[in-house]
Amino acid sequence: MPRWRTCINKHFQWSSPVAQGLLLCVLTFGVLLPICCHRLLYSYYFLKSVYLDSLSDAALEESYNRGQEALLFWEGVDSKESPKDPTETVAKEPDLLVTVVTARRMEGRDYHYLLQVTQRLASLLKTCGDKPCAEVMLCDVESGPYLNEDVWLVEKQFLVVRRSPDERTKIREVSNIFEKEKRDYVYCLRKGWDLMRPKNIVVLEDDALPGTDFFPLIKNLLSRKFALNTLYVKLYHPERLQRYWNPEPYRILEWVGLGMFGATILLLIFSHCTSLSLTLSFPHFLFLTLYIMAMVELAGRHYLLEVRRLSPQLYAVSPATECCTPAMLFPGNASIRAAEYLDQVVCAQGNAKDMVLYKKVRSTPGERAHSVEPNAIKHIGAYSSVRINPLRPKLI
């Protein structure tokens, strides 16, 4: 009998570990995962051409309905209540200040992102008990000729700060939209600090919808040791960039560790199955480690991270990633350092404020920055206030 046929007969009988491993892979990656994951947006098996449009439309409709509900909510606030005076809160020195940076949106106005965010914040603040979780300040950076109408609706409930007429005239002269966005951010950072001297600051963009456990999570993060020595903690990273195969170094360690843990569990299970030949040996352990790693990556790391929402203590903290600033936590007086770093650089396309902060952390001795996973907020801004929008936004 030819040698190759002998090899096939040896390794591809049902009692062979090779045959059993091959069958396991075929059933998992060719049958089970495609059936279970073809509708999951952040899975490799997601059928984009089939489901993306319908999921995007559903997300837009959900956001629109939530925005209309928020509009009715704020319109129902007592109209006799007068706007807050900024001087009332100067001496409060709250444990936490939540600053919401907002501007008028030319597109997507009916979604009322700001009203959604402020309604959620108002709801979460009511659950804090006798001691407030935070003070909330709206930083209206609109410099155009039109008013930011949504701000006027919530001004009865939250403190609102704006530039003076002269300052608005000067900021309109900045033609670089990335530089203007940075200067708006710096203005809000400094204004919050100057008015209240808070112990910690969270800055939200007006399309960053906080999760239901937002304040317990922030409190837990600030109680951890790393918070004493960090410039900022990113509370959001795009879900599409949370995969293992878009790797930050810590993710590789997490990925391998998860594979080894899963392989150990499977080997213990398989060792009690008399019909299987996968035993407690290094080759089988290595195979199952790679099998688990491939399975969790293809199914979608995002969905594995969602398990951590069971408790604020389970949220993972890791070195900061590059992209995006919809939600940022600045412990202590770190917001002032961040404002100074941003002032040193002129932002442009490819070097927006998120990249500037990331590069400053990496180039400044002793400076640190972190990210939290899963996200503490949901980014609902399908229509941007500073960038060109597609005719019909998509989720990815």
- Residue-wise pLDDT tens digits, 146-181: 788 899 999 888 999 999 988 888 898 888 999 999
143 pLDDT exceeds 90? no
Among residues 386, 388, 379, which one has the least CA distance to residue 111? 379
Confidence of residue 10 (pLDDT cuts 50, 70, 90): very low
Alpha-carbon gap, residue 46 to 44, rounded angstroms: 6
Among residues 245, 213, 232, 222, which one has the least CA distance to residue 368? 232
- The three-point CA angle 310-116-311 to 5° equals 10
Q: What is the 3-state secondary structure (H, E, C) of 96-152?
A: CEEEEEECCCCCCHHHCHHHHHHHHHHHHHCCCCCCCCCEEEEEECCCCCCCCHHHH
Highest mean pLDDT: which of 73-87, 138-152, 221-235? 221-235
Confidence of residue 383 (pLDDT cuts 50, 70, 90): confident
pLDDT in the model for residue 277: 61
298 pLDDT exceeds 70? yes
| CB-count exposure of residue 178 (10 Å: 0-12, 13-18, 19+) | buried
| CB-count exposure of residue 350 (10 Å: 0-12, 13-18, 19+) | exposed
The full set of domains in the chain, from first to last, is 60-240+314-379 (3.90.550.10), 244-299 (no CATH)
pLDDT in the model for residue 368: 95
Q: Which one is predicted more confidently, 145 or 161? A: 161
For the entire predicted model, the pTM comes to 0.91
pLDDT in the model for residue 37: 97
5 pLDDT exceeds 60? no
Confidence of residue 89 (pLDDT cuts 50, 70, 90): very low
Q: Are strands 97-102 and 135-140 parallel, antiparallel or unpaired?
A: parallel
